[in-house]
Each structure stands twice: as structure tokens, then as C-alpha cells.
A and B are shown apart, each in its own frame.
Chain A
């Protein structure tokens, strides 16, 4: 199989603090990882594409200084929400892709972020 984990599964933080979310591919090496945000009853919105060893590519409208992405190894990518505000509260989901061809993505279970 292809298993992707996320940690934490949920987090509550105060406004102004930073939160780090980890995404790991457990049984395969993922050269590409994706970060999505999903609001209630809405579609997944791609935030950024992360390739191991290189800078992430952010989608239009996503602040790269606010959502810091690090893809340090072939099995780990992290998303740090800096100076979080209530409007950043959302469900953050990562996915990992095998290789560079157009295979299906394997999604993590998601992280529910609530900013008070």
C-alpha cells in the first residue's frame, strides 16, 4: 500500500502563534508532496507543491511567508502556519505522489487547525 500520515491530527492554538504540521509517507519515497486546505463543505484547494530538496511552489493567493513549507527528505514535508489567525482555521491535508509521472496521489488523514 501507500500510507501517508499527518501529525498532529488536530491542534488548537492562540492567535499569533505558529503551528507546524508534519506529513510523512510511511512506506514509499515521495518526490512530490502537496498541501491542501479544505473549508467545510468546500473542495480541496491546493496551496503548494513541495519537491524534495527544492523550494515549494505556491498557488496564486497563498502567502509563502505565512505558510512555510519544508521538504527535507523523500518521506517528510512540513507546513508551518506562522502567526496564525482565526481565519487560518481550516482542515489541512497533505498528499504524496510516487515518482514524477501522473499517478494518483495518496492523501494523509488531515489536520484540523483551530485558531482562537
Chain B
């Protein structure tokens, strides 16, 4: 069964304290992995797409990496405004064309940065 697991469920950090969020996946065929940020009561906001093992992408204090089994979202010197829930999602191949692919979301990591 295709599965996406995020850990930890919740994380509290002091401002400036770097850490990493994990997204591990077990899927039949990975088409792409996505990271989103979701603030309370709002829809997810796109951060990154990763397509192949070894790929890395950066945006401000965030860096996403991908292996064949998991992805990490590294946050460097976080600020209180980085507090949010971070969601990981995978696009799973269903057939040769991407049109029938499935999207599976993890439950997210609630990140709280203390000033």
C-alpha cells in the first residue's frame, strides 16, 4: 500500500535553532514529491517539487532534499514567522501518463518557533 509518513508530528524550536523535518514514503512509483506550508485555516502554499534522488532545492531558510526512501526539509536559523504546518505529498504513478496519477499527503509536521 502506498504510504507517506511525516515525522515528527510536532516540533518546537527556539528562534535560530536549525532542524530537519522528515517525510518517508513507500510507493509503487514516484513521479514527484512536493513540500507545502500550511497556516491555520488556510490552504497549503507550494514550496518545492523534487523529482529524483539526489535532487536538492532551496528557498530562503528552507532546503529540501530527496533520496529513494525519504525527503528532508531542513530549516536553518528559523524565525517565528516560519511557524506553520509543513506538508509532504507524493505523486504516485498509476499509468504511463501522469493524468491518472494519485496524490498522497502526509499528516504534516506542526512547527512552532519560539522567539
Contact = CB atoms under 8 A, between A and B. Distances in A.
B88 to A, nearest CB: 10
Nearest to A106: B46
B44 A44 contact: yes
A64 to B, nearest CB: 18
Contacts, number: 54
B71 interface: no
A106 B34 CA distance: 11
B114 interface: no
Given A34-B103, A43-B107, A100-B98, A110 B42 contact: yes
A42 B89 CA distance: 13
Interface residues of B, number: 26
Interface string B84-110: 000101010000011101111111101
B63 interface: no
Contact of A108 (B43, B99, B103, B108): B43
Given A43-B107, A102-B32, A105-B103, 19 more contacts: A4-B43, A42-B107, A43-B87, A44-B87, A46-B102, A46-B103, A91-B41, A93-B43, A95-B43, A100-B98, A101-B98, A102-B91, A103-B49, A105-B46, A107-B44, A107-B46, A108-B43, A109-B43, A110-B43
Contacts of A43: 87, 105-108
